[in-house]
Amino acid sequence: MKRSRCHLISYVPLSLLPFYQAADAQELIGKEFRRVSRASNFEFAIYNNGDTYGGAQCGPNVGYECTYRPFAHWPRGSFHMEGIPPSSIAILAKKREELLVSDAGFIYPPFPLIFGPPDSEPFSGMVPGWIGDPLAGYDSVYQGAGWLYSDDGDYIVYSSLDYDASGVDVSGSNFNDWPMRLVAGRRQYVPEPLLRSNYPPVYLSDEDMFCIFKDTDTRFDRQYDGPGGRSEPIGIEVQNAIYSWGEGPGKDIVLFQYDIINKSGVSLDSCFLVNSYGMVLIGPGTHNLFDPGLRASLAVFEEPGRTLPYMVPTDPSEWTRENWSATEIPPTIGFPLLEARLGDNGLPLGIHQLACNSAAVYFRRPPPDSVGILLFEGNDSIAYRTLSDLRLITEESVFDCESHPRGPVVSIGPFPLAENDVVSATFAIIFSDSLPHLMLMHDFITRVYTNNFQRPSLPPTPKLTATGLNRSVKLSWDASAESATDIIIPDSLGRPFVGYSLQRAERVEGPYKEIGRWHVDTLLVHEYLDRGDSSSGGPAPDESGSGKLKNNVTYYYRLLSFDEGAVRLKLDPMESPPVEGVNQVAVIPSTEPSDEGGNEVSQEMLEGIRVVPNPYLITHEAQREEPRVFFNYLPTECTIRIYTIGLDLVKTIIHTGGSREEWDLKTEGGQIVASQLLLAYIEAGSGLKTTKQFAVVVGR
């Protein structure tokens, strides 16, 4: 659906906002949107200017007794964990020999304790929007078109849970269409809302989130005092995508992907991306601003080709109900880097440096002074030197990593960034119950990410055939499911196939009852004679004691293959889905043998014919096969005539065997049909007939 970029937005004063907002809400703070995750077991907030978790809340007369809004919870709803600034990104660059830093609330968070009410100046450093937006203002000092902030309804934090398969908002909030689209075979941001419907949307996880921001509006740079002053814009745009899952191992993992685009008009060098995970291990409830939480150690796990910082609770005696109650023990948290570009030396960038969180705030000054605070005294040059060499912060610094663990600060770099070039970096947060479990989770999400977000594979669907006999049914199937492989879950963690479950019902919608189950470690079979006796899960024996199925009654069967799951990853076993005409068939027992229902045709059988999928949609990146519509549960011989709603003949199909037929969506003239409502007029050889209605929506 096409939408205008004109929106009526009402702003809510911060003082009127509740302390805790429901997780599925989109809250407006001044001119700042906050989105709270809804799928993941990690409940966190993202802001439309790139800030993460949330800022401080202080009462009118409490001085340093400030608290943080609880939007960094694990597990979801527990109110465990807290977000502590800095908890976002900073970008460092050398531009025309000047050392510059741009941050999304990293160094100068919206902090009422220091800077006054945040609703009077909602952004710090970054502002929502893309550089070059024709609706945004022009910066006359730097000759920057579209550099200023524009109060635009398109600059929210998007959540894929608000959208349908075609990328149209179904939340009732009248948001613009989903912005991430498949353009020329590549996933990319489409900035103009009116053009988004021309491309299929792309969703990669159970909840994708997206926002876009830039560093070019000097009105929101607290240190800016003119060209050549303490702070200047670099001229960068950041596209921020967040991916999370609601089930399986992925529910305890969140990915943060940053695409940083150089729109400064010049090449940049000696660039760094610094990411801070401002989280502390604390229990539910309200906490003092400087509450250290539980003791933990911050360490780094290294092997050739990867670096995984992690934080582990260190003192079991502190695990009391007051500070941790939701899980048996507080989590071991990993902070891996999954992707980064090539560095100045042409080699892939790993994590350049690791430090405790306080390194992002404190810096060393020349003697006789020892420690300065970026929040009060910093400028771009000091911030660049501090954040590009975090080792300047030593054990003699104010805070010690073990006694005040707040998640690490990591950096990648240095790297060059040519004009209009893009650098991509993807970080993850992993919650686990032990260090060995964390290593398994890290390997798992690395495989998911490097394989284009592929999930653990469902077991393959076997091919099931059925023959109706006298008061019984003969079923057989192939062994294709037994050669299953899964590139996400290795066999050492869980086998991708371990058995079959055969089920029967008297209605296509069920309920289905298991009549046979076979396991690879005991016995596998590939055929089964269902006589309907009670020992095989069928009806009880009749008065004669035969206990057989009834002739001329339609029975529905499905054969599901199942895997082993992955216990060490906490992944439950999965089954192959039922697919009509493949591993789900209908058959009628009779005195004359029949193949999947035989030649005896009844009106009841014709009414059971299904057209799938209905509606037929081409709207997703994953749908790459040739278009097909299937007619299932057909009699052995029949004629299918497809008409428009105006009764114009589109296609005639002569069906001569089996219970399934397919149509490639082409007319008699070989053209793909347009999106419309269609009628299928199906006539059996006996003269019985039925009509089925279905819709086709063909994507462009």
User: Residues 544-558: what's their mean pLDDT?
Assistant: 77
Instruction: Provide the 3-class DSSP secondary structure of residue 201.
Output: strand
What are the structure tokens assigned to 600, written together? Answer: 């005896």
Select the more confidently predicted residue: 279 or 629: 629
Residue of higher predicted confidence among 26 and 256? 256
**H/E stretch holding 603:** helix 603-607
- 68 vs 520 pLDDT, higher one: 520
Residue with tokens 């023990």: 329
The C-alpha atoms of residue 213 and residue 240 are separated, in whole angstroms, by 8
Q: Is the pLDDT of residue 532 over 50?
A: yes
Measure the CA–CA gap between 607 and 524, rounded to whole angstroms: 36
The rounded distance, in Å, linking the Cα atoms of 21 and 567 is: 35
The residue among 47 and 287 whose pLDDT is bigger is: 47
How confident is the model over 340-375, as pLDDT tens digits?
766 666 666 667 676 766 666 666 555 555 555 665
Q: Specify the residue for token string 């060490």.
A: 568
CA 549 to chain centre: 47
Residue 441 CB neighbour total at 10 angstroms: 25
Eight-class DSSP state of 290:
T
Burial 136-173 (b: 16+ CB within 10 A, else e): beebeeeebebbbbbebbbbbbbbbbbbebbbbbeeee
CA distance 97 to 227: 14
Cis peptide before 541 (omega within 30 of 0): no
Phi, psi (rounded to 5 degrees) for 594: -140, 155
Could you read off the pLDDT of 193-242 as tens digits, one per residue? 999 999 999 999 999 999 999 999 998 887 888 998 889 999 999 999 99
Tokens representing 475?
A: 């079923």
Which domains are seen in the chain, by residue range? Answer: 22-124+156-161+207-450 (2.70.98), 457-600 (2.60.40.10), 601-700 (2.60.40.2470)
What is the per-residue pLDDT across 72-105, written as a single tens digit (0 to 9) for each?
A: 889 998 888 877 767 889 999 999 989 999 988 7
Angle at 387 between CA 384 and CA 392, to 5 degrees: 110
pTM above 0.85, yes or no: no
